Amino acid sequence: MDKTKEQILDELLKAYESMEQKDFNAFFQKQAQALGLTKEQLEFLEKGNSVIDEINAKALELAEAKKNGLNRQEWMEHELDVALEDRTKEEKAQVLEIINEAMDKRLEDIVTEKEEEE
């Protein structure tokens, strides 16, 4: 029987946590072979690995920006400026509107969750 994605991830995370040296890429390749993953499963995990790498890189960039005196908002504004530099004013406005709506929605969700806890 094929393992589910959740079972594979759970096994991988447990094995990774037990390692002394955390070299995820080497670990990933070794485990993928050992598990005999299907092409679909391997692609799923590779995509997850890529997302983890991107999140880690951004976290390190934010930490460096904070060392250089920027706060989170200033860093985010800079990142948006870089990401949107080739866009028109209208496109930039649309992106910022979407971000603001998402942030407002998340804030509403947090407030609702807190109210339900009380």
Q: pLDDT tens for residues 82-103?
A: 888 999 989 988 988 898 898 8
Average pLDDT over residues 14-28: 75
Residue 76 domain flag: no
pTM of the model: 0.51
102 and 55 belong to one structural domain? no
* pLDDT at site 61: 92
CA atoms of 48 and 37, how far apart (whole Å): 15
Strand, coil or helix: what is 29?
Answer: helix
94 and 37 belong to one structural domain? no
CA atoms of 32 and 10, how far apart (whole Å): 13
* Helix (H) / strand (E) containing 96: helix 89-117
Mean pLDDT across the chain: 84
Number of domains within the chain: 2
* pLDDT at site 1: 52
90 and 60 belong to one structural domain? no
Q: What percent of the chain has pLDDT over 70?
A: 97
